[in-house]
Amino acid sequence: MNTDTHRSNLAEETCATCGGSGWKIVEREGISGAEKCECVNAGRVGRLKERANIPPLYEKASVDNFVLPPDNPVARTALATVALTVRGYVRDYPSVPKPGLLFIGAPGCGKTHLAVAALAGLIERGFEGVFFDFQALLNRIRSGYDQASGTMDREAYKAALDTEILLLDDVGAHRVTDWVEDTVTSIVTHRCNNRKATIVTTNLRDPEAGNQRGSGLESDLYSKFFLEERIGMRARSRLFEMCRLIRMPDVEDYRLKKR
Ligand SMILES: Nc1ncnc2c1ncn2[C@@H]1O[C@H](COP(=O)(O)OP(=O)(O)OP(=O)(O)O)[C@@H](O)[C@H]1O
Ligand SMILES: [Mg+2]
Ligand SMILES: [Zn+2]
């Protein structure tokens, strides 16, 4: 795209500060100079948002509108800590110990809400990222492979490998096959090797999140399956290597509460 079309796109609603040129004149210590106008970044953020594929239900999800339960002090404290962690991650990325986040918790506790909040916060800062429902991504990749034409539509697969920030929502919600395990392992390995941020949500159990096998202590809120059983040992191990674990406290399902 040449600069002129770029400018005319940005100037759709002509910016009052720069008149659509993308540059504004600033005076500093008596010397005037040109500086990039804020509207340039606003245009970029708008385009990044359009491409991020965030489902309409979560379009407005943010840490600011994440409600802490008033009636459950234990969950309230735990969720306040989670919210702080997400805020800190968005603020500090990419200078964070692990590039991604792994939300583990029961259905309706706000995992996708917070994962989207993190992704949206990073997009707001100018980073590029894409939301994928885990199963939908696998279906799309598979339909590409199955095409009789022999030409593979690997667009979804490539996007999952290459995007700067990948949100994989509801990992392992369905039955695994060797094919699924291999595909997930290759995506996760590629992203891990290149230290690319991956934000994951799941309601599978995992010993790291305090769910022991057969302990009988875990609540019935979780899926009865373990992460390792659904995505394989290798993908699981890499997820923990590249993601900070966020174990969601047990709270009442927000979807049921809202009704
Ligand atoms: N604490 C909260 N404050 C405000 N909205 C919330 C909160 N928790 C959840 N929600 C909303 O409730 C709905 C369900 O939450 P969400 O989809 O994030 O749950 P989840 O943990 O991802 O569940 P699942 O495991 O079923 O995918 C969403 O619309 C979300 O925006
Ligand atoms: Mg979810
Ligand atoms: Zn401007």
pLDDT value at residue 143: 79
Residue with more model confidence, 215 or 50: 50
Give the Cα separation of 202 and 247 in Å (integer): 10
Domain limits, the chain = 3-40, 52-258
The answer, yes or no, to whether residue 242 has pLDDT greater than 60, is yes
> What pLDDT, in 10s, does the model give residues 117-127?
999 999 999 99
The reply to whether ligand 1 has any atom less than 6 angstroms from the CB of 206 is: no
Give the pLDDT score at 151. Answer: 52
Architecture of domain 52-258: 3-Layer(aba) Sandwich (3.40)
CA 54 to ligand 3 center in whole angstroms: 27
Q: What is the pLDDT of residue 74?
A: 93
Which residues fall inside 5 Å of ion ligand 2, going by CB? 111-112
Q: How far is residue 207 from each of residues 38, 108, 171, 241, 246, measured CA to CA in Å?
A: 46, 21, 16, 15, 13
Supply the pLDDT for residue 3.
43
Amino acid (one-letter) located at 248 = M
Query: Residue 10: what pLDDT?
Result: 42
Q: Pick from 46, 12, 7, 9: which is nearest to 23 by CA?
A: 7
Q: Residue 111: which pLDDT band, with cuts at 50, 70 and 90?
A: very high
**CA of 248, closest atom in ligand 1:** 21
Q: Yes or no: say if 102 and 245 are a contact pair by the CB < 8 Å rule.
A: yes
CA-CA-CA-CA dihedral for 48, 248, 188, 178, to nearest 10: -120
Q: Is the CB of 75 under 6 A from ligand 1?
A: no
What pLDDT digit, counting tens, does each position of 52-74 carry?
999 999 999 999 999 999 999 99
Report whether pLDDT(150) > 60. Answer: no
